[in-house]
């Protein structure tokens, strides 16, 4: 079943959405992240995507307390991202009840970390591939890596990674539609499950992505379209259910 996963992005303790990952282009939607989590659960979501944006920029988690409260407050599965660059951080989120732990920078720059993180989290570990113009970006999307996103996906699959989160940075928060061709290529070439992120603006976009399920695109994260009211979660769930 194709999943629609609402996002809660945390910056300075508030729920925000960024444009193209730029903290200077943030729109604040709530001062109460736990209440927002409950809102998405009540609307029918089965999984939640929570990002510690401050942690992503700092290189270590900054919102552990509030994210732990979110995990404890809902019956949904919660996947956690942002600044997870040590095995201890991976273990801490597993112990805190996170259904999935998402790491990007460390998994791409430190093979020992990736190996040990897989030992700790196994199929609960997700590696984030955040790409602009086909190049993987790291350090909270702030730095280029010189890595091709498709080739990197193939290499990660060979290392034992079972799930990837693929974001087209240029489309993130812009409501311009997802990069379906990139997502299909990554899923098809790597042979692992792919979560889509970036650009979803309508039910039609989600129907397009759900049609890629046979090649391995299993879910889509939705943020700005939900918060702006351009997309109603109930309508989206019905369309792809």
Please state, in angstroms and as integers, the Cα–Cα distance from residue 199 to each residue in 15, 21, 86, 241, following that order: 18, 12, 30, 21
CA 185, CA 178: separation in Å to the nearest integer? 13
Residue 46 has phi, psi (to 5 degrees) of: -110, -10
Asked if residue 217 lies in contact with residue 187, where contact means CB atoms within 8 angstroms, the answer is: yes
Active site residues: 9, 130
Residue 104 has phi, psi (to 5 degrees) of: -125, -75
What tokens does 182 get?
A: 């990139």
Asked if residue 221 lies in contact with residue 7, where contact means CB atoms within 8 angstroms, the answer is: yes
Report the candidate in 145, 168, 98, 149 with the shortest Cα–Cα distance to residue 126.
98
Residue 222 has phi, psi (to 5 degrees) of: -125, 130
SS3 state at 51: strand
Work out the number of other CB atoms within 10 angstroms of the CB of residue 66: 18
CA 77, CA 174: separation in Å to the nearest integer? 26
Local structure of residue 188 (DSSP, 8 states): H
């Amino acid at each position: 079943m194709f999943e629609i996963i609402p996002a809660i992005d945390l910056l300075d303790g508030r729920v925000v959405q960024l444009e193209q990952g730029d903290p200077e282009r943030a729109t604040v939607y709530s001062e109460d992240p736990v209440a927002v989590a409950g809102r998405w659960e009540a609307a029918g979501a089965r999984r939640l995507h929570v990002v510690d944006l401050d942690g992503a920029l700092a290189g270590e988690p900054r919102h552990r307390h509030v994210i732990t409260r979110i995990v404890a407050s809902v019956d949904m599965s919660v996947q956690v991202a942002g600044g997870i660059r040590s095995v201890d951080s991976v273990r801490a989120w597993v112990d805190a009840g996170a259904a999935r732990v998402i790491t990007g920078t460390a998994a791409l720059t430190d093979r020992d970390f990736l190996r040990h993180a897989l030992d700790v989290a196994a199929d609960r570990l997700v590696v984030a591939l955040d790409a602009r113009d086909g190049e993987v970006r790291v350090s909270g999307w702030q730095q280029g890596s010189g890595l091709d996103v498709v080739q990197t996906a193939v290499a990660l699959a060979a290392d034992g990674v079972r799930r990837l989160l693929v974001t087209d940075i240029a489309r993130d928060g812009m409501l311009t539609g997802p990069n379906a061709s990139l997502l299909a290529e990554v899923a098809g070439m790597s042979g692992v499950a792919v979560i889509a992120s970036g650009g979803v603006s309508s039910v039609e976009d989600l129907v397009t992505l759900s049609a890629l399920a046979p090649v391995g695109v299993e879910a889509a994260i939705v943020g700005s379209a939900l918060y702006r009211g351009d997309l109603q979660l109930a309508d989206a769930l019905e369309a792809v259910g």
